């Protein structure tokens, strides 16, 4: 694999999931693959799980890792072409990404959306410029529209913990006070569509995701109906796709509680990519109770990242 930016870059999803679960059983079996190879993790936005799990995955494979919080520690980057750089930007992405490629065998990039200009975010301008100019394989650490390492870990978690052959999986919108990206739900939807699961999306009217990602999924505005008899409920807030980046109030009752679960989905396991705002997005009684698998899910981020890096190292 030369690029990991979405599920569409994966040749065989079940093989990648199986590889992650094998690596979980035997993390250090492939240390030779990464010997003297360098992974650079470049962050334009904050990170906890992605940074730590991808670094650990790389170390398990014997790689060296460089982390650069370029938003705080690097020069201010110019992303536009054909501009005279007489303002606040110091270095063009052409040189910055090109130089990073000289120091790295694989690069990971995190580049959140601005949530102002839909066309710009959905054309993945920043991520694609890194890919173009660094000239080494690139893994997405969450781009403007996708978070494939998260979704792979989510699918690994579902495969690992499912108790029926074809589990019912529900992605449900949750309340928030801020405009958040659509990257996590976009990716989750497209990975679930490639998995052997019964998949439903529930959200209030106005929070429709791009059909490029949800095409074929069952979509409802009735949360109780959606979560009925669910095996896995994936909780996530996102801002509107249309009008782009907007947030409308009045949907506070979409926060999942134990009462809702006990009524219609007593056996559901509850997932969230984290970070989660307690008692705004998801009730603390669920997070602190037996139904939550969010910590286990975050633990699986290591094996997802390791499966991806392993395929990339094999293709170097």
Binding site for ligand SN0 (CB under 6 A): 178, 180-181, 183-184, 273, 275, 277
Which helix (H) or strand (E) element contains residue 38? strand 38-43
If the CB atoms of residues 35 and 296 are measured against ligand SN0, the closer one turns out to be 296
Cross-strand pairs, 234: 171, 271
If the CB atoms of residues 112 and 130 are measured against ligand SN0, the closer one turns out to be 112
If the CB atoms of residues 188 and 303 are measured against ligand SN0, the closer one turns out to be 188
If the CB atoms of residues 41 and 184 are measured against ligand SN0, the closer one turns out to be 184
Cross-strand pairs, 235: 172
Cis amide bond preceding 275, omega within 30: yes
Tokens encoding 35: 């010997």
**Cβ(96)–Cβ(73) below 8 Å:** no
Residue 181 Cβ vs ligand SN0, minimum distance, rounded to whole Å: 4
Residue 29 Cβ vs ligand SN0, minimum distance, rounded to whole Å: 29
If the CB atoms of residues 178 and 296 are measured against ligand SN0, the closer one turns out to be 178
Residue 45 Cβ vs ligand SN0, minimum distance, rounded to whole Å: 8
Residue 241 Cβ vs ligand SN0, minimum distance, rounded to whole Å: 14
| Calpha distance 170→107 (Å, rounded) | 33
If the CB atoms of residues 96 and 141 are measured against ligand SN0, the closer one turns out to be 141
Q: Do strands 232-236 and 269-271 pair parallel, antiparallel, or not at all (unpaired)?
A: parallel
Q: How many CA atoms lie within 13 A of 249 on its CB side?
A: 1
Residue 44 Cβ vs ligand SN0, minimum distance, rounded to whole Å: 13
Residue 255 Cβ vs ligand SN0, minimum distance, rounded to whole Å: 14
If the CB atoms of residues 113 and 137 are measured against ligand SN0, the closer one turns out to be 113
| Calpha distance 49→275 (Å, rounded) | 9
Residue 8 Cβ vs ligand SN0, minimum distance, rounded to whole Å: 19
DSSP category for residue 158: H
Rg of the chain over Cα atoms, rounded to whole angstroms, equals 20
**Cβ(106)–Cβ(131) below 8 Å:** no
| Calpha distance 147→307 (Å, rounded) | 15
Distances (CA, A) of 14 to 95, 152, 180, 279: 38, 10, 30, 35
């Amino acid at each position: 694999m030369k690029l990991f930016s979405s599920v569409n870059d994966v040749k065989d999803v079940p093989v990648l999931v199986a590889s992650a679960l094998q690596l979980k059983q035997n993390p250090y079996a492939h240390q030779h693959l990464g010997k003297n190879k360098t992974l650079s993790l470049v962050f334009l936005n904050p990170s906890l799980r992605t940074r730590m799990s991808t670094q650990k995955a790389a170390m398990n494979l014997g790689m060296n890792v460089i982390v650069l919080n370029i938003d705080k520690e690097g020069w201010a980057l110019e992303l536009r072409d054909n501009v005279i750089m007489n303002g606040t930007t110091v270095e063009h992405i052409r040189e910055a990404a090109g130089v990073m490629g000289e120091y790295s065998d694989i690069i990971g990039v995190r580049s959140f959306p601005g949530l102002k200009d839909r066309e710009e975010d959905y054309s993945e301008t920043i991520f694609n410029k890194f890919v173009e100019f660094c000239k080494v394989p690139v893994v997405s650490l969450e781009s403007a529209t996708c978070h494939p390492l998260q979704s792979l870990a989510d699918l690994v978690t579902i495969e690992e913990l499912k108790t029926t052959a074809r589990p019912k999986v529900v992605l449900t919108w949750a309340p928030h006070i801020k405009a958040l990206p659509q990257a996590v739900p976009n990716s989750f939807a497209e990975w679930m569509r490639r998995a052997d699961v019964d998949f439903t999306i529930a959200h209030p009217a106005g929070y429709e995701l791009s059909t490029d990602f949800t095409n074929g999924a069952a979509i409802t505005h009735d949360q109780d109906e959606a979560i009925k008899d669910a095996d896995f409920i994936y909780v996530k807030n996102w801002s509107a796709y249309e009008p782009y980046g907007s947030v409308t109030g009045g949907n506070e009752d979409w926060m999942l509680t134990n009462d809702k679960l006990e009524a219609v989905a007593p056996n559901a396991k509850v997932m969230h990519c984290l970070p989660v705002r307690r008692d705004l997005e998801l009730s603390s009684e669920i997070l602190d109770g037996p139904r939550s698998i969010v910590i286990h899910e975050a633990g699986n981020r290591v094996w997802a990242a390791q499966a991806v890096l392993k395929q990339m190292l094999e293709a170097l």
